[in-house]
């Protein structure tokens, strides 16, 4: 065992990372071959058994289980994880489950598990690793491989089926094994904080107050955070999520007459309220040919960095971006029916991750009868529910106010038009990674994903808790990645954890933690 010398710089070796150190007893080389083997053995012989026990717990997110407090499933899942983590002999680990917080209405808030791991280097940095233990609904009737709470490990040990295995139960095991892998090689790391919450699938409504508690009462101020509750188009690349869109949901209602009218006598005088809604959408909200949002407040500039990332992804995965969406025969994403070029695909990525987009998600069934039961009538009102995915960086409060003004002003025919907001969730925009982090992620992609490049792209979905971290802790260096893809069944039937990808993600985070402890050398 040898110590670093003052002139040693961080460089990339074919076998591992060289990280400058001056602490006696700690090596400065992460041996990637040994790290990969260690993580594989730990997953196979240690973590998967406990993760399988987690799958068996019906720890539905509070939005899907009004009796979550009484049945204790969320708390039980955290206790299972806590016990396993404390049995791993990780140097400097302490843990606590916070289950005594209350919500605004005075009812209990869902529990949160915090695990602190002392740094092995004397610096003020803290790495914050995030995960969640609450689950989506089971959807038991449509599973085909196994039942959602009956874990199934495939014969080749590459997939663990079960609800919550990939989304996001594995996060605790990945976080612990990343630190354990460094300590096994005596590689230094900064202080590590692991959080496992239990209401992410419900929008994390109580997370902001807990983050304030962490900052003000526990003196937590991380400089770096990771989240492994994401993914990308496939399982062959290292996908970095650089942004998330926000959501504005609401109901548009048009009242035009006081009662149902005969269309033969009133048609041509009294307009259909549904036609008024479509007029409002096409003239004020959405370009019906392109799907682009017309309203200026929803527009955000796409940077050169973001555009270059979109082109890199388009070149790497090509038509996979849209081929898996299930267009009917002869249909496709281009309005004119032409075969998309790489530029077209890059623009699809920009529109689906960095631009605003609207979807009509529901209509009021009182508006008109079911098919086959309609009369020749003009109905008195029409009401639809819309969801607008807002571009990263959009001010949600401003967007709601502007949307209400745009829809309700100067209504056609003087109709009574109202927009009633239902939900507004913030977007997330990660800062461009600093040199130490970009270098380490690029090298991890090459080393652990078979030489494939790192692919950095936004996600069209929404995870509000990411913006909560920024609101409380300021701009953090962020790595958001994971094991989810279009094939992994999260939020649907036959969810599975792809174990080789989980192991790669774990190895990547280990090397990022090692580099973070010595980032000033870059």
- What's the CA gap between 244 and 175, in Å, rounded? 23
CB of 148 closer than 8 Å to CB of 138: yes
First to last CA, the chain: 24
**H/E element, 160:** strand 159-161
Q: Which phi and psi angles does 365 have, rounded to 5°? A: -70, -10
DSSP 351: H
How many Å apart are CA 352 and CA 370, to the nearest integer?
33
For CATH 3.30.70.360, the residue range(s) in the chain are 246-425
Q: Strand, helix or coil at 397?
A: helix
Closest C-alpha to 433, from 253, 224, 279? 224
Rg, C-alpha atoms of the chain: 25
Say if CB 131 and CB 167 are below 8 A apart. no
- pLDDT tens-place values along the chain, 522 residues long: 322 222 222 223 334 544 444 444 555 579 999 999 999 999 999 999 999 999 999 999 999 999 999 999 999 999 999 999 999 999 999 999 999 999 999 999 999 999 999 999 877 899 999 999 999 999 999 999 999 999 999 999 999 999 999 999 999 999 999 999 999 999 999 999 999 999 999 989 999 999 999 999 999 999 999 999 999 999 999 999 999 999 999 999 999 999 999 999 999 999 999 999 999 999 999 999 889 999 888 989 999 999 999 999 999 999 999 988 889 999 999 888 889 999 999 999 999 999 999 999 999 988 888 888 888 999 999 999 999 999 999 999 999 999 999 999 999 999 999 999 999 989 999 999 999 999 999 999 999 999 999 999 999 888 888 999 999 999 899 999 999 998 999 999 999 999 999 999 999 999 999 999 888 877
CATH topology for 246-425?
Alpha-Beta Plaits (3.30.70)
Q: Which regions of the chain carry the CATH code 3.40.630.10?
A: 51-244+428-521
Cα separation, 160 vs 173, whole angstroms = 14
For residues 357 and 215, is the Cβ–Cβ distance under 8 A?
no
Largest alpha-carbon pair distance within the chain?
Answer: 94
CATH topology of domain 51-244+428-521: Aminopeptidase (3.40.630)
């Amino acid at each position: 065992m040898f110590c670093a010398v003052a002139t040693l710089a961080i460089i990339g070796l074919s076998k591992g990372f060289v990280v400058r150190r001056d602490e006696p007893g700690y090596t400065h080389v992460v041996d990637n071959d040994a790290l990969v083997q260690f993580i594989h053995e730990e997953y196979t012989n240690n973590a998967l058994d406990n993760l399988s026990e987690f799958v068996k717990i019906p720890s539905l997110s509070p939005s899907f289980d009004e009796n979550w407090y009484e049945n204790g499933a969320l708390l039980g899942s955290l206790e299972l994880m806590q016990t396993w983590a404390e049995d791993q002999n990780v140097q400097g680990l302490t843990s606590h489950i916070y289950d005594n917080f209350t919500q605004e209405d005075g009812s209990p808030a869902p529990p949160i598990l915090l695990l602190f791991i002392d740094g092995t280097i004397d610096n003020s940095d803290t790495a914050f690793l995030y995960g969640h233990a609450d689950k989506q609904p089971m959807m038991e009737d449509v599973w085909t491989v196994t039942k959602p709470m009956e874990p199934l490990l495939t014969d080749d040990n590459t997939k663990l089926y079960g609800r919550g295995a990939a989304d996001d139960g594995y996060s605790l095991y990945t976080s612990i094994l990343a630190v354990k892998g460094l300590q096994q090689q005596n590689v230094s790391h900064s202080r590590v904080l692991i959080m496992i919450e239990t209401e992410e699938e419900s929008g994390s409504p109580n997370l902001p107050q807990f983050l304030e508690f962490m900052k003000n009462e526990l003196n937590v101020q991380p400089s770096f955070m990771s989240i492994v509750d994401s993914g990308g188009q496939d399982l062959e690349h290292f996908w970095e999520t650089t942004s998330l869109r926000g959501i504005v949901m609401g109901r548009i209602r048009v009242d035009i007459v006081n009662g149902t009218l005969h269309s033969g006598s009133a048609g041509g005088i009294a307009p259909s309220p549904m036609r008024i809604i479509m007029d409002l959408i096409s003239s004020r909200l959405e370009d019906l040919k392109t799907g682009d949002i017309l309203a200026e407040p929803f527009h955000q500039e796409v940077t050169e960095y973001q555009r270059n990332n979109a082109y890199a992804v388009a070149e790497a995965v090509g038509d996979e971006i849209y081929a898996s969406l299930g267009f009917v025969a002869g249909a496709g994403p281009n309005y004119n029916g032409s075969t998309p070029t790489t530029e077209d695909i890059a623009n699809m990525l920009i529109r689906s991750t960095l631009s605003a987009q609207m979807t009509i998600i529901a209509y009021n069934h009182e508006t008109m009868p079911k098919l086959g039961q309609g009369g020749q009538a003009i109905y008195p009102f029409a009401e639809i529910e819309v969801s607008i995915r807002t571009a990263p960086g959009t001010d949600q409060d401003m967007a709601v106010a502007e949307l209400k003004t745009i829809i309700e002003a100067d209504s056609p025919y003087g109709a009574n038009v109202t927009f009633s907001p239902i939900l507004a969730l913030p977007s997330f925009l990660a800062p461009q990674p600093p040199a130490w982090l970009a270098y380490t992620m690029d090298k991890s992609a090459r080393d652990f994903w078979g030489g494939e490049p790192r692919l950095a792209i936004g996600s069209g979905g929404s995870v509000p808790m990411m913006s909560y971290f920024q609101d409380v802790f300021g701009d953090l260096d962020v790595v958001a990645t994971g094991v989810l893809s279009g094939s992994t069944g999260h939020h649907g039937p036959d969810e599975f954890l792809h174990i080789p990808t989980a192991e790669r993600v774990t190895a990547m985070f280990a090397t990022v933690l090692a580099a973070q402890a010595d980032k000033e050398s870059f």
